């Protein structure tokens, strides 16, 4: 079956250039591009010093930028009607809300990192579904950062890419107020085509894991239950994990064992910690299963991961649970909720010749349950952020 494919990077760049002309009357001096992501496994482990295994999506954001000499900043998005206008020297945490916080936040954070960011006209256009747990925000941030690198003629060397990741994390946590862990920005910048990115948040090292899926597809199903990382649920999980680590006297839950978890006094905090310990262990096991096309083990790992997020971390929803159950019942090797939770998407690994059956079965199950129609996309593993000519 054919699910809609997103436009190529060049087409999206042309859209962003045209938007910049239309909304600001300016010609782009540079265009940055960065992908959304779907996480295969390792959920909420990044801010616990753990392991994650995301894949960059072909769905992405392009940011077109033009320099201004008067210090004025004008921001617009093809996905929003409201433009934002201000000055480069007034960008600071607390000054922006909504989507402009992510864009203006990057201009501010790059300045904090030492770049001389001038006034700009800047327009973003993207195809990453919003509020679907597929990291539209990191895609916007990293596209903006790459556009600014292009504007300032800064080569995206490896250290510069890491500086971009750090600046985009600051934009998201300090400017947009989403206390996230860094997985999304790291994969948006460092992903390699055809691969998942294994990231270790204790050593901050990452490695591309080539995916030889052959007769398998990565299917993403957006339940259309919109999730927000700024609404408190995400922060409270992070808080509980930090409390668990503090009680155990360790820097992060990466150092915890299942024995340690049984010593925690608060039953709910212990369940949160158990999720982190078991989920971190599932990441290398999933890398092995993928490397050996061991779909049975992958299915067991995905099932355990989903159950852990549903029962121990309590971030699933009835829609996510129904999508997972239905996908597996109709031929997926494995399925689990992906991303921050409280809504958003599931990820399934499906024999390619059964994708249509899974899609139709999930649609029918949602219809019977009276839920909104889900949206599906195929995650062809894409590369990381780039500057477009
Ligand atoms: C969101 C956050 F932004 C990530 O840092 C990560 O914690 C993820 O939720 C859950 O794994 O995408």
Encode pLDDT of 32-55 as tens digits: 999 999 999 999 999 999 999 999
Q: How far is the CA of 354 from the centre of ligand 1 (A)?
A: 29
In a domain, 1, yes or no: no
Same domain membership, residue 228 and residue 156: no
In a domain, 267, yes or no: yes
Same domain membership, residue 221 and residue 127: no
ipTM: 0.99
Same domain membership, residue 273 and residue 241: yes
**Is residue 183 in contact with ligand 1, taking CB distance under 6 Å?**
yes
Q: How far is the CA of 117 from the centre of ligand 1 (A)?
A: 28
Instruction: Please name which of 142, 222, 230, 133 lies closest in space to residue 180, comparing C-alpha atoms.
Output: 230
DSSP E strand boundaries for the chain? 30-39, 51-52, 54-68, 72-77, 84-87, 119-126, 195-200, 205-210, 216-222, 334-338, 345-351, 375-378, 386-388
Backbone dihedral angles phi then psi of residue 91, each to the nearest 5 degrees: -70, 120
**Is residue 198 in contact with ligand 1, taking CB distance under 6 Å?**
no
Catalytic-labelled residue, pool 46, 121, 125, 184? 184
Q: How far is the CA of 177 from the centre of ligand 1 (A)?
A: 14
Tell me the two tokens of residue 53.
């295994």
**Is residue 339 in contact with ligand 1, taking CB distance under 6 Å?**
yes
State the chain's maximal CA–CA distance in angstroms: 62
Backbone dihedral angles phi then psi of residue 294, each to the nearest 5 degrees: -90, 85
Same domain membership, residue 176 and residue 148: yes
Q: Inform me whether the pLDDT recorded for 1 exceeds 70.
A: no
The atom number, within ligand 1, closest to the CA of 43 reads: 11
Could you give the CA distance from residue 90 to residue 374 in angstroms, rounded to a whole number? 41
Same domain membership, residue 285 and residue 205: no
Which pLDDT does position 311 carry in this prediction?
98
The atom number, within ligand 1, closest to the CA of 234 reads: 9
Question: Exposed, middle or buried, 82 (CB in 10 Å: 0-12/13-18/19+)?
Answer: exposed
In a domain, 3, yes or no: no
The atom number, within ligand 1, closest to the CA of 46 reads: 7
Same domain membership, residue 230 and residue 87: no
Average pLDDT over residues 136-163: 98
Assign 230 a pLDDT band (cuts: 50, 70, 90): confident
Tell me the two tokens of residue 238.
């992070």
Q: Whose CA is nearest to atom 5 of ligand 1?
A: 181
Q: Which of 184, 254, 313, 347 is the best mutation target for the ligand 1 pocket, counting ligand atoms within 8 Å of the beta carbon and taking the most?
A: 184
Same domain membership, residue 312 and residue 264: yes
Q: Inform me whether the pLDDT recorded for 126 exceeds 80.
A: yes
Q: Inform me whether the pLDDT recorded for 182 exceeds 70.
A: yes
**Is residue 173 in contact with ligand 1, taking CB distance under 6 Å?**
no
Same domain membership, residue 262 and residue 124: no
Could you give the CA distance from residue 386 to residue 354 in angstroms, rounded to a whole number? 34
Assign 159 a pLDDT band (cuts: 50, 70, 90): very high
The atom number, within ligand 1, closest to the CA of 138 reads: 3
In a domain, 2, yes or no: no
358: three-class secondary structure by DSSP: helix
For 236-261, write each residue's pLDDT tens digit: 999 999 999 999 999 999 999 999 99
In a domain, 192, yes or no: yes
Assign 389 a pLDDT band (cuts: 50, 70, 90): confident
The atom number, within ligand 1, closest to the CA of 39 reads: 11
Same domain membership, residue 23 and residue 151: yes
Assign 231 a pLDDT band (cuts: 50, 70, 90): confident
**Is residue 229 in contact with ligand 1, taking CB distance under 6 Å?**
yes
Assign 232 a pLDDT band (cuts: 50, 70, 90): confident
Could you give the CA distance from residue 357 to residue 348 in angstroms, rounded to a whole number? 13
Could you give the CA distance from residue 108 to residue 44 in angstroms, rounded to a whole number? 27
In a domain, 228, yes or no: yes
Could you give the CA distance from residue 188 to residue 33 in angstroms, rounded to a whole number? 10
Could you give the CA distance from residue 30 to residue 18 in angstroms, rounded to a whole number? 13
Q: Do 67 and 151 form a contact (C-beta atoms < 8 A)?
A: yes
In a domain, 4, yes or no: no
**Strands 84-87, 72-77: parallel, antiparallel or unpaired by DSSP?**
antiparallel
Same domain membership, residue 206 and residue 69: yes
Could you give the CA distance from residue 323 to residue 163 in angstroms, rounded to a whole number? 38
Could you give the CA distance from residue 25 to residue 31 in angstroms, rounded to a whole number? 16
**Is residue 44 in contact with ligand 1, taking CB distance under 6 Å?**
yes
Backbone dihedral angles phi then psi of residue 202, each to the nearest 5 degrees: -95, -40
Same domain membership, residue 166 and residue 38: yes
Q: What separation in angstroms does the CA of 58 have from each of 144, 162, 334, 343?
A: 17, 21, 22, 22
347: three-class secondary structure by DSSP: strand
For 106-116, write each residue's pLDDT tens digit: 999 999 999 99
Q: How far is the CA of 388 from the centre of ligand 1 (A)?
A: 27
Annotated active-site residue 89? The verdict is no
Q: Say which CATH number the domain at 355 has.
A: 3.30.70.890
In a domain, 271, yes or no: yes
Q: Do 279 and 301 form a contact (C-beta atoms < 8 A)?
A: no
Same domain membership, residue 135 and residue 280: no
Assign 303 a pLDDT band (cuts: 50, 70, 90): very high
166: three-class secondary structure by DSSP: helix
Q: How far is the CA of 146 from the centre of ligand 1 (A)?
A: 22
How many domains does one find in the chain? Answer: 2
**Is residue 340 in contact with ligand 1, taking CB distance under 6 Å?**
yes
Q: How far is the CA of 186 from the centre of ligand 1 (A)?
A: 11
Q: Say which CATH number the domain at 22 has.
A: 3.30.230.10
| Residue-averaged pLDDT of the chain | 97
Tell me the two tokens of residue 102.
């992510």
Could you give the CA distance from residue 27 to residue 54 in angstroms, rounded to a whole number? 35
Q: Inform me whether the pLDDT recorded for 58 exceeds 80.
A: yes
Tell me the two tokens of residue 63.
């940011």
Please state the pTM of the whole predicted model. Answer: 0.97
Q: Do 279 and 42 form a contact (C-beta atoms < 8 A)?
A: yes
Average pLDDT over residues 339-352: 97
Whose tokens are 């408190």? That residue is 232
Return the sign of the alpha-carbon dihedral for residues 171, 175, 177, 179.
Answer: positive
Domain assignment of residue 139, given as a range: 9-210+382-388
């Amino acid at each position: 079956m054919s699910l809609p494919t997103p436009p190529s990077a060049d087409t999206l760049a042309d859209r962003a250039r045209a938007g910049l002309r239309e909304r600001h009357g300016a010609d782009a001096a540079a265009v940055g591009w960065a992908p959304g992501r779907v996480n295969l496994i390792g959920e909420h482990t990044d801010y616990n010093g753990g392991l994650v295994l995301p894949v960059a999506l072909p769905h992405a954001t392009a940011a077109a930028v033009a320099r201004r000499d008067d210090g004025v900043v004008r921001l617009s998005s093809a996905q929003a009607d409201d433009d934002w206008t201000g000055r480069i020297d007034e960008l600071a945490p607390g000054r922006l809300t909504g989507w402009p916080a992510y864009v203006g936040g990057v201009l501010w954070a790059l300045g904090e990192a030492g770049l001389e960011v001038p006034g700009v006209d800047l327009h973003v256009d993207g195809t990453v579904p919003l509020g679907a747990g597929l990291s539209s925000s990191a895609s916007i941030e990293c596209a903006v950062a790459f556009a600014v690198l292009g504007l300032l003629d800064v080569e995206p060397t490896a250290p510069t890419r890491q500086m971009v990741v750090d600046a985009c994390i600051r934009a998201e946590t300090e400017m947009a107020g989403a206390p996230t862990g860094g997985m999304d920005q790291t994969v948006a910048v460092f992903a390699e085509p055809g691969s998942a990115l294994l990231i270790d948040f204790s050593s901050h090292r990452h490695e591309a894991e080539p995916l030889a899926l052959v007769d398998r597809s990565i299917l993403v199903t957006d339940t259309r239950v919109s999730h927000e990382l700024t609404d408190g649920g995400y922060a409270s999980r992070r808080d509980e994990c930090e409390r668990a680590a503090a009680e155990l006297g360790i820097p992060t839950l990466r150092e915890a064992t299942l024995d340690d978890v049984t010593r925690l006094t608060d039953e709910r905090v212990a369940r949160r910690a158990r999720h982190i310990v078991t989920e971190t262990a599932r990441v290398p096991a999933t890398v092995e299963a993928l490397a050996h096309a061991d779909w049975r083990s992958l299915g067991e790992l995905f099932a355990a991961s989903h159950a852990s997020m549903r029962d121990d971390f309590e971030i699933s929803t009835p829609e996510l649970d129904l999508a997972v159950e239905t996908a597996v019942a109709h031929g997926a090797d494995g399925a689990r909720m992906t991303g921050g939770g409280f809504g958003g998407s599931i990820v399934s690994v499906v024999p390619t010749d059964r994708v249509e059956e899974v899609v139709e079965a999930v649609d029918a199950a949602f219809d019977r349950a009276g839920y909104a129609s889900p949206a599906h996309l195929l995650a062809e593993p894409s590369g990381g952020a780039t500057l477009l000519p």
